[in-house]
Amino acid sequence: MEKDSNENTLEKISKGPSLGFTDNFPKRQMWKELAKEFNGEYKIKHSSGYALEIHHVSIPYKKWNIEITVSDTQPLKFQMSFSSLQNFELTISWDDFIERIFKLFNKSDVKLGWKEFDKHYLIRTNRSDFVKNIFCNEVQKKMLKHDVYSISYQTDPKNKKAKLLSVIQRRAGTKEMNIEIIEMFKKIIDKLEKLKIII
C-alpha cells in the first residue's frame, strides 16, 4: 500500500512543474486564439541563440492583466500584479510526501471543508477568513480538475503592492483547460476586489 502511494507521488512529480524539456512550438496557434478571444496580446520570445521558445499572453481583466507564460524549459504560469490594501499572505501547494512530513510538525494549515480538496492541497496563510471566501467550491473544483500545482499571493506592505502567482503544470495544456483557468483567475480577482484586498 505504501509502495503504491510512493509510486503515485513519483509519477505526479515527474509530470510536475520543474522537470524535462517540452516543445512549445506547436502551441503557437492556441495562444494566438486565446489572446484574440480575450482581447489580449500574444508574444513569442526566444533565448539567446534561439534555442528556447517562450510564449507570453497578456489578458486584460477590469484594470488588471492576467499574464500567462510557458517555455520549453519552464512550466505554465499565471501571474497578476495588484495595488494592495491588506497584508495578506497565501501559499497553496500539492500535499505531496514532503508536505505530509511538514504537516506532522505543523498543524496550522487551513482546511476548506471539502475532503477531496483538503487532502490534495496544503494551505498556509495569515488570513484563513480570506482564503475560505476566495477559494469557493467553483475555484476548488477547477484547481482539482486541472491539478494546479500551486498558487501564492504575496504582499509587499512597504510599497503596497502584491503578486498572485500560480504554477499550473509542466506543459502548456489544451485551449479548453486554459480558458477554464483564465475564468478561475477572474473569479479569484473578483473575490480579492470584493474583500478590498486589492484596488
Q: Give the cell for residue 67.
A: 499574464
Residue 145 to residue 71: CA distance in whole angstroms:
23
Q: Which conformational region is residue 96 in: left (phi greater than 0), alpha (psi within -120 to 50 degrees), or beta?
A: beta
Are the CB atoms for 35 and 59 separated by under 8 Å?
A: yes
Residues 6+ away with beta carbon under 8 Å from 154: 89, 162, 163, 165
Q: Give the cell for residue 193.
A: 476586489
Residue 149 to residue 73: CA distance in whole angstroms:
16
Local confidence band at 99 (pLDDT 50, 70, 90 cut-offs): low
Question: Which tens digit of pLDDT belongs to each residue from 22-32?
Answer: 666 778 999 99
Name the residue with higher pLDDT: 127 or 11.
Answer: 127
Name the residue with higher pLDDT: 6 or 186.
Answer: 186
Closest CA to 119 of 3, 5, 19, 1: 5
Closest CA to 35 of 77, 67, 71, 74: 67
Residue 127 to residue 192: CA distance in whole angstroms:
13
* pLDDT value, residue 73: 85
Q: Is the pLDDT of residue 11 over 80?
A: no
Local confidence band at 113 (pLDDT 50, 70, 90 cut-offs): confident
The arrangement of strands across the sheet holding 53-61 comes to 41-46, 53-61, 64-71, 76-83, 161-169, 150-156, 90-94, 121-125
Mean pLDDT (the chain) is 86
Mean pLDDT of 171-190: 96
Name the residue with higher pLDDT: 24 or 103.
Answer: 24
Residue 88 to residue 102: CA distance in whole angstroms:
22
Question: Which tens digit of pLDDT belongs to each residue from 143-160?
Answer: 999 999 999 999 999 999
Would you kindly state where each structural domain of the chain is located, as residue ranges? 2-194
Local confidence band at 164 (pLDDT 50, 70, 90 cut-offs): very high
Question: Which tens digit of pLDDT belongs to each residue from 35-87?
Answer: 999 999 999 988 777 778 899 999 999 999 999 999 888 899 999 999 999 99
> What percent of the chain has a predicted confidence (pLDDT) above 70?
81
